[in-house]
Amino acid sequence: MARTHDDDLFQSSTMTFGEHLEELRACLIRASIGLLFGVVIGFFIGRDVVHLIEQPLRRALGDYYINQSEKVVEEWEPRTPGAAGIPYTKEEMTDAITRLGLSFEVREIHTSRLGLSPDEVHSEDGRFPLGELVPVVLWQPLARDARVNITTLSAQEAFGIYVKAALVVGIVLSSPWIFYQLWNFVAAGLYPHEKRYVHVFLPASTGLFFAGVALAFFFVFDFVLAYLLAFNEWLGLDPDPRITEWLSFVLLLPIGFGLGFQLPLVMLFLERIGILEASAYAAQWRTAVVAIFIVAAILTPADPYSMLFLAVPLCVLYFGGLGLCLWLPRPSEAA
């Protein structure tokens, strides 16, 4: 319900406009100090965080090359008719790949010439004896496969990775304190009877932020990576990812999800203090859906999966926020 009085927002406050700016500066300083403490903690656990961040990418690369290996098993044929084939059955190789987590590469050698010097054996016509090649399978654990390892291209890149990992930890750990400072600043400009909403919204805001971060890290990453690697496969390109590029992806996506998940609280807050009404949310839902998809495209990397995984939950949260505005009783009504 909109305000029924024409009072200015700051009329009941003793703070001037300049004092509100000073309050904003103080809140930003306190939030920055909290972020600094979070980053310091991040430096102590940065190494473990880097290994944790690597896991979704390593897992996706492992699945990609296991799939490639299974295709090799199905499609490999000798170079010449009647020549020797791979010295394993398809069932044996599939078991080694899927159950034991092994990867392999197929090489071909001339077994008849092993241990012989060049002047002891040669073809009669001087041509390379292609038909005498025998396939040899080289096995290794998938974790040791060089194609699954994530690379750096410069000596200082590893240090930059460590600092970025500490920054990610700092943002996540200090997010409750940052949200607390943000809501404190908002409360400074509210009527006394409206400030109670801050105490209700603060824990919910923090919980929604962590829910968005968890959704991105534990669910979205696997789908997005599977899609991007499938696109590589379709183009016939083998991926060679760098940890810096992956970390930038990890830094952007979960924070974008966490901020996006604040939508229902923002809607409810604006409705409760009378800036917008639930009827306006209901009437403009089509425009809101278009805006959500545009914002999701900005907050996520340039792939359709991550955009959809953010936009669809935000649409659900939008209508959830509308439902909260319509059905959640006001404190006065509940009393």
The tens-digit pLDDT sequence of the chain (335 residues) is: 444 444 444 444 456 667 777 878 888 898 899 999 999 998 998 888 888 877 788 888 877 877 777 777 777 777 766 666 788 887 888 888 878 888 888 888 877 777 777 666 666 667 777 777 888 888 888 777 777 777 777 777 788 888 888 888 888 888 888 888 887 777 766 666 666 666 777 788 888 888 888 888 888 887 778 777 887 777 777 777 777 777 777 777 787 888 888 888 888 878 877 788 888 888 888 999 999 888 888 777 666 777 888 888 889 989 988 888 888 656 554 44
> Helix 157-188 vs helix 243-260: angle between axes, to the nearest 10 degrees?
10
- Dist. CA 165–CA 47, nearest whole Å: 8
Supply angle C-alpha 51, 254, 241, rounded to 5: 50
Helix (H, G, I), strand (E, B) or coil at 145: coil
Instruction: Please say whether the beta carbons of 194 and 274 come within 8 A.
Output: no
> Helix 243-260 vs helix 221-235: angle between axes, to the nearest 10 degrees?
130
Q: Which amino acid is at 269?
A: F
The number of beta carbons lying within 10 Å of the beta carbon of residue 292 is 20
- Rounded CA Rg of the chain: 30
Helix (H, G, I), strand (E, B) or coil at 139: strand
Distances (CA, A) of 291 to 165, 272, 286, 287, 298: 31, 22, 9, 6, 11
Distances (CA, A) of 326 to 143, 151, 291: 53, 52, 22
On the CB side of 55, CA atoms within 13 Å amount to 9
List for the chain the helix, strand, coil content (%; round to 5). Answer: 70, 5, 25
- Dist. CA 52–CA 71, nearest whole Å: 30
Q: Note the pTM of the prediction, 2 decimals.
A: 0.66
Closest CA to 258 of 314, 321, 185: 314
In the chain, where are the structural domains located? 20-41+151-330
- Dist. CA 226–CA 61, nearest whole Å: 9
193-219 burial, b at 16+ Cβ within 10 Å, e below that, comes to: ebeebbeebbeebbebbeebbebbbee
Supply angle C-alpha 178, 180, 182, rounded to 5: 70
